[in-house]
């Protein structure tokens, strides 16, 4: 039995594809064989197994976040193989270490496509890594499933964005802060594309909604020196900090924050890149009471999540938490599986065409693939970090939010893209 609930629509789509499975298994070939320009022509589907690429930072400053994403991907592959594989073929995961270095991500992506001949790749975390590999996947017409929330304002025909886009995380977070009367914001982020673009969006929102950005600072990714920034935050007269730091910089930031006498009670921080795994690494004594914005928490109710948490902890340890990016990575493999089975083929063009309307009863709740944007309908959630290191939900959007990566539904966002 698989580790995730599949919707009736997904089951019917998968059943309709089963009739072609035997023929595909018997006469397997390279995807798109017959023309080198066909989508995904490099992928080898000729054997009893097909390779899937896992592209994560297993070393460097981002390993604090990405190793667990890699583990969640492996779990999904293992479960799918135990249930019979995809179109009668078992999945063989091929892991590459992006090493928290964006040119390395591009190099490893190309190796997965051209040397390993994977049928799809799952991974990346930072937007810098995604931007680095985007032209590689587009050049070779191969698919990347990207699991992490991001700044939006992007769409690629060869990327499926499984994490939240801006209107499913940052905008709901700002709405929540405004409703709490926290209207004077200080922006702190890592110095690369996601924080800078996210803060551009936050400033546009604030101007339109009567909020005020009282300060804005960036630190190099991996920075461990935050005394100057924290002192500026302390003196700025802010109501809240909006945090877009990534990786292990968060450890240094929150330790300095507490050292300066700041707390969730005196000056709350809302983070969009700190999940349960980072909480454990940073220390709950530095984070208790602080806010996060995601689409999934380990505490999210539902049978699908109970099963996911149990399966993950059985595989990696009872003390290992689950988190939003891990869950999105996990379901990304299942979403791809459903697309392939609906298409009856590993061919990229056919998989893309089949993607519209695929839905899962995921650990985070119901998710639906929007074929037009290759993003996913997701429920927004605000949580508060507890003394036990878990994040308890304090608000949710009530239903999955349609993805709007270019914020076309918001007048204040005109001109951002």
Tens digit of each residue's pLDDT (9 = 90 or more) over 275-305: 998 999 999 999 999 999 999 999 999 999 9
**pLDDT (0 to 100) of residue 42:** 85
Q: Round to whole Å and give the CA distance between 392 and 383.
A: 5
Query: For residue 47, what are its two tokens?
Result: 């054997």
Which range among 12-21, 37-46, 304-313 shows the weakest confidence by mean pLDDT? Answer: 12-21
**Mean pLDDT of the region 269-277:** 95
Measured between alpha carbons, how far is 322 from 342 in angstroms, rounded to an integer?
Answer: 29
CB 292 within 8 A of CB 383: yes
Mean predicted lDDT score pLDDT of the chain: 92
Q: Where are the alpha helices (DSSP H) in 180-318?
A: 193-209, 227-235, 249-259, 276-282, 284-287, 303-316
**pLDDT(363) > 50:** yes
Phi, psi of 392 (to 5 degrees): -100, 130
Dist. CA 163–CA 220, nearest whole Å: 24
Contact assessment for residue 7 and residue 15, using Cβ atoms and an 8 Å cutoff: no
Token pair recorded at residue 196: 């800078």
Confidence of residue 38 (pLDDT cuts 50, 70, 90): low
pLDDT in tens, 159-202: 999 999 999 999 999 999 999 999 999 999 999 999 999 999 99
Between 7-16, 61-70, 365-374, 381-390, the lowest mean confidence (pLDDT) is in: 7-16
Residue 20: pLDDT band by 50, 70, 90 thresholds?
A: very low
Q: Phi and psi dihedrals of 255, rounded to 5?
A: -65, -40
pLDDT at 417: 77
The phi and psi torsions of 162 (rounded to 5 degrees) equal: -90, -25
Place of tokens 């690629």: 156
Instruction: Give the DSSP letter of residue 402.
Output: P
Give yes or no for residue 229 having a pLDDT over 80: yes
Give yes or no for residue 27 having a pLDDT over 90.
no
β-pair type (375-377, 90-97): unpaired
Rounded to 10 deg, the angle between the 102-114 and 127-140 helix axes is 30
Contact between 191 and 218 under an 8 Å Cβ cutoff? The reply is yes
| 408 CB neighbour count, 10 Å cutoff | 11
**What pLDDT shows up at residue 1?**
38
pLDDT per position as a tens digit, 327-349:
999 999 999 999 999 999 999 99
* Rounded-to-integer distance, Cα 84 and Cα 178, Å: 49
Structure tokens at 307: 């099963």
d(CA 26, CA 415): 52
Q: What is the pLDDT of residues 77-91, one digit of tens each?
A: 999 999 999 999 999
């Amino acid at each position: 039995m698989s580790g995730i609930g599949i919707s009736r629509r997904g089951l019917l789509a998968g059943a309709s594809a089963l009739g072609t499975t035997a023929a595909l298994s018997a006469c397997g070939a390279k995807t798109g064989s017959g023309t080198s320009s066909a989508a995904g022509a490099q992928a080898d589907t000729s054997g009893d197994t097909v390779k899937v690429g896992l592209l994560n930072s297993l070393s460097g400053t981002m390993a604090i976040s990405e190793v667990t994403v890699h583990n969640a991907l492996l779990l999904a592959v293992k479960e799918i193989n135990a249930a019979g594989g995809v179109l009668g073929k078992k999945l063989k995961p091929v892991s590459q270490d992006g090493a928290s270095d964006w040119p390395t991500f591009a190099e490893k992506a190309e190796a997965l496509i051209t040397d390993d001949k994977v049928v799809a790749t799952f991974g990346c975390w930072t937007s810098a890594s995604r931007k680095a590999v985007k032209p590689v996947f587009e050049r070779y017409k191969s698919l990347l499933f990207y699991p992490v929330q991001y700044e939006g304002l992007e769409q690629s025909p060869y990327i499926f964005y499984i994490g939240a886009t801006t209107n499913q995380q940052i905008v709901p977070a700002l709405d929540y802060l405004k409703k709490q009367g926290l209207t004077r914001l200080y922006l702190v982020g890592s110095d690369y594309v996601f924080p800078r673009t996210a803060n551009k969006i936050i400033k546009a929102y604030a101007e339109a909604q009567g909020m005020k950005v009282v300060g804005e600072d960036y630190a190099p990714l991996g920075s461990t020196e935050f005394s100057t920034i924290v002192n500026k935050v302390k003196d700025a007269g802010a109501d809240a900090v909006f945090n877009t730091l990534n990786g292990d910089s968060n450890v240094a930031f929150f330790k300095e924050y507490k050292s300066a006498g700041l707390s969730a009670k005196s000056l709350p921080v809302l983070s969009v890149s700190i999940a349960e795994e980072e909480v454990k690494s940073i220390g709950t004594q530095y984070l208790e009471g602080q806010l996060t914005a995601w689409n999934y928490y380990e505490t999210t109710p539902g049978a699908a999540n109970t099963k996911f948490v149990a399966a993950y902890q059985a595989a990696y340890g009872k003390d290992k938490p689950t988190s939003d990016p891990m869950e999105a990575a996990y379901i990304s493999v299942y979403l791809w599986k459903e697309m392939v089975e609906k298409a009856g083929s590993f061919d990229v063009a056919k998989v893309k065409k089949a993607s519209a309307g695929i839905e899962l009863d995921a650990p985070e709740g119901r998710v639906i693939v929007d074929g037009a944007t290759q993003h996913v309908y997701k429920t927004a959630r605000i949580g508060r970090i507890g003394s036990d290191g878990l994040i308890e939900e304090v608000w949710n959007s009530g239903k999955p939010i349609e993805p709007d990566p270019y914020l076309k539904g918001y007048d204040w966002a005109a001109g951002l893209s």
